[in-house]
Chain A
Amino acid sequence: MAGVLSGIYSTFVRRNYVFLSTIFVGAFATQIAFNTGANAIWDSINRGRQWKDIKHKYMEAEDDE
C-alpha cells in the first residue's frame, strides 16, 4: 500500500507541472465520463420520446422522394 501511494506521489504530485496537468486532464475526463453516463441513462429512460429516436422516420421519407 505504501509503495503504491508513494508511487502515485512521486509520479503525479511531486512535480508541480505534472500535478497541475493531472488535475486539468482529470477534470475534463471526469466531466466527459459523467455527461456521457448521465445522458445515456436519460436517453434510456426516455427511449422513443425524443426527436433523435423518431427522426429516422422523417429523414428516410425524404430520401425516398
Chain B
Amino acid sequence: MLARSSLRASRALGATKTSATRTATRNASTQSSSESAGSWKNAALASSSTALAIGSVAWYYYQYGRPMHAMTPAEEGLHATQYPWEHEKFTKTFDHAALRRGFQVYREVCASCHSLSRIPYRSLVGNFMTVDEAKALAEENEYDTEPNDEGEIEKRPGKLSDYIPAPYKNDEAARAANNGALPPDLSLMVKARHGGCNYIFSLLTGYPDEPPAGAVVQSGLNFNPYFPGTGIAMARVLYDGLVEYEDGTPATTSQMAKDVVEFLNWSAEPEMDDRKRMGWKVIAVGSVLFAISVWVKRYKWANIKTRKMLYNNPYAQQNATKHPGSVHRR
C-alpha cells in the first residue's frame, strides 16, 4: 500500500515537470521577436501605473485615513499626570485623616464658591467627624422651617439631617458673582471629569505663574493647561499655608490639593470603603463555591469519564462461532 502511493506521487511530480519545461520552450520561441522594441515602453508603463497606484492610495489616506480631531490639543486640555493614589488601590480605604483635612480645605476655601449639595451633615459623622462636631457645624447655618400655623416660614438652626448649604441662592446668583461662570457643584466632580482625582489635582496645582508666551487668555479667565481650552474662570485658589491643619500636617499647596481631592472622591463615592471590603468577601466566598462546584462536577462525571467502551463485532463473532476452523484454514 505504502509503495503504491509513493509510486503515484512520483509519477505526478514527473508530469508537472514535463509540462513546465514544455511551456518554457514555447514562451522562449514566441517572445524573442518583439522583445527589444517594447521593453522601455513596458517598463515606463509599469512604473508609471505603480506610481499612480501608490500615489492615489497615499492621497486617499492623507484625505480620509488620518485620525480626526474636532478640537486642537489646547482645546482638549493637557492630559492629567497619573498619581499613585493610595486610596485607589483595591485593598485600601480612604485615609480618613486626609478626608478630615480635605473637608477643612473645602469648607475654608472652596465652599465660598462651590456647593456640595449631596452631602448631609449626618454623613460626616463616623467618617471624619464626631457627632458633636457635626451638630455644631450644622447649627452654624439656618434653614427654613415647615410653614407654621399662620403659614409663615421661619428659620431654625441646622440639624444633622440637613444638607450642606450652597454659597449662592441659585445658579444665576452664582454666575453673577463669578464673571458669568458657574462654579459647578463638587459632590460628584471626581466622577464627572475624565481623569477623576488626577485631573482635579492637576487642575488645582497646575496654574503657572504666568501664561506661556503666545497663549491667548481672555480677560476674566486664567491660564491652566489642564482645563479644556486652557482659559478657566476659576483663579488659582490654593497657596502654601492657606489653611492651618489641626493635626500639624504642613499645608503646602500640593498637600491641600491632595486632601481636598481625596475628600471629593469620598463625596462622590462615600460607599467605596464598604464596597471594596464587600467585594473581597464576595471573591473569597465565590471562589470557595466555585471550587466546590468544580469538585462536584468531577465527582458526578467520574463514572462517565472513566468508563471504557468495548465494541464486539457481532458479525465476526458469528462467523467465529459458525466456522471455528475458518481463520486457521487460510
Contact = CB atoms under 8 A, between A and B. Distances in A.
Contacts of B93: 46, 49-50
A42 B91 CA distance: 8
B52 interface: no
A45 to B, nearest CB: 5
Interface stretch (A3-11, A12-20, A21-29, A51-59): A51-59
Interface in B102-135: 126-130, 132-133
A62 interface: yes
Contact of B96 (A34, A38, A42, A49): A49
A20 B277 CA distance: 31
B96 A54 contact: yes
Contacts of B95: 49
Identify which of A34, A38, A45, A51 gathers the most chain B CB atoms within 10 Å of its CB: A51
B285 A34 contact: yes
B280 A46 contact: no
Contacts of A50: 93, 96, 273
B281 A51 contact: no
Interface residues of A, number: 17
Given A45-B91, A45-B92, A49-B92, A38 B277 contact: yes
Contacts of A51: 96, 126-128
Contacts of A45: 91-92
B280 A38 contact: yes
A38 B281 contact: yes
Contact of B97 (A34, A35, A54, A62): A54
A34 B282 CA distance: 11
B284 interface: yes
A42 B274 CA distance: 10
A38 B285 CA distance: 11
Contacts of B199: none
B85 to A, nearest CB: 13
Nearest to A58: B130
B201 interface: no
A55 B125 CA distance: 11
A35 B247 CA distance: 33
B109 to A, nearest CB: 22
Interface in B271-307: 273, 277, 280-281, 284-285
Contacts of B100: 54
Contacts of B126: 51
A51 B247 CA distance: 14
Interface in B131-145: 132-133
A50 B276 CA distance: 13
A37 to B, nearest CB: 10
Contacts of B94: 49
A31 to B, nearest CB: 10
Nearest to B276: A42
A42 B285 contact: no
Identify which of A42, A46, A57 gathers the most chain B CB atoms within 10 Å of its CB: A46
A39 B277 CA distance: 8
A62 B135 CA distance: 13
B130 A59 contact: yes
B284 A38 contact: yes
A32 to B, nearest CB: 13
Interface of A: 34-35, 38-39, 42, 45-46, 49-51, 53-55, 57-59, 62
CB-CB nearest 5 A-B residue pairs: A51-B96, A46-B93, A49-B95, A42-B277, A49-B93
Given A38-B281, A58-B130, 7 more contacts: A34-B281, A35-B281, A39-B277, A50-B273, A53-B96, A54-B100, A62-B132
